[in-house]
Amino acid sequence: RAAEWQLDQPAWSGRLRITARGSTAFIRLEDKTSGELFAQAPVEQFPGIAVESVTDSSRYFVIRVEDENGRRAFIGVGFVDRGDAFDFNVALQDHFKWVRQQSELARQDPDQGPKLDLGFKEGQTIKLNIANMKKKEGAAGNTRPRPAGPGGLTLLPPPPGGKCSGERPPSLPAPARLPGTPITDSVLSWPQPSAPAAAAADAWGDFAKASG
């Protein structure tokens, strides 16, 4: 009970700080001017025996201090302001809440965690834009290589129904007279070769005798 203490004449007064190293919290009682350490209470569990609340006040606590040689003693501490006592409790609770979270994460199996599902859901579809691909394929399919002849020349196919022979072509029929268009024999007559060009006429053969 805090009422049994000499609250009007405390043995020491100063500032209280809470620090942490790893999972252990430390309640440090320091001189409010120089910061010199008066006593320190390591806290490995809260609530626990290292920090206990009194039964008759929310502003007073019993803490277990420990020196460098391992000697321990229980002392009573109290806060003038009730808000400071509340912050003292919250600081210890937040630290050990963090300790529990870290312990749970360390024990958690990574294979049992949520897995990323990349599969398609039922009825889900995707759309692919292949317009450019079709255009390229169509352009390539329309061009057909032509057969190349000797020396890399391109050979054109013969006209349909055409035949090559050395026979004399049939005589051309007489030109038809069109209405309103006079046709005279002088216009259609083939000039006769002169004597010096007789040899050339022989070379033409039957083609030189064709009229028109």
Average the pLDDT over 139-168 and give the result. Answer: 56
Strands 15-21 and 72-78: unpaired
Reply yes or no on whether the pLDDT at 1 is more than 80: yes
Q: Which residue has the higher pLDDT, 111 or 59?
A: 59
What domains does the chain contain, in order, with CATH numbers?
A: 2-107 (2.30.29.30)
Residue 133 has pLDDT above 70, yes or no: no
- Model confidence, pTM: 0.48
Is residue 21 helix, strand or coil? Answer: strand
Strand partners, 24: 21
Q: Are 19 and 37 in contact (CB under 8 A)?
A: no
Residue type, 174: A
pLDDT at 185: 47
In which band, very low, low, confident or very high, does the pLDDT at 126 lie, cut at 50, 70 and 90? confident
Buried-state track 171-194, b at ≥16 Cβ within 10 A, e below 16: eeeeeeeeeeeeeeeeeeeeeeee
**Stretch 170-196: mean pLDDT, rounded?**
55
CB neighbour list of residue 73: distance below 8 Å, 6 or more residues apart: 64, 65
Mean pLDDT, all residues of the chain: 74
pLDDT, tens digit, 9 for 90 and up, residues 193-209:
555 555 555 555 555 55
- In this structure, are residues 50 and 66 in contact, taking their beta carbons and an 8 Å threshold? no
Q: What is the pLDDT of residues 5-46, one digit of tens each?
A: 887 888 889 999 999 998 899 999 999 889 899 999 999 888
pLDDT at 10: 87
Distance separating alpha carbons of residues 50 and 60, to the nearest angstrom: 14
- ω into residue 47 within 30 of 0, thus cis? yes
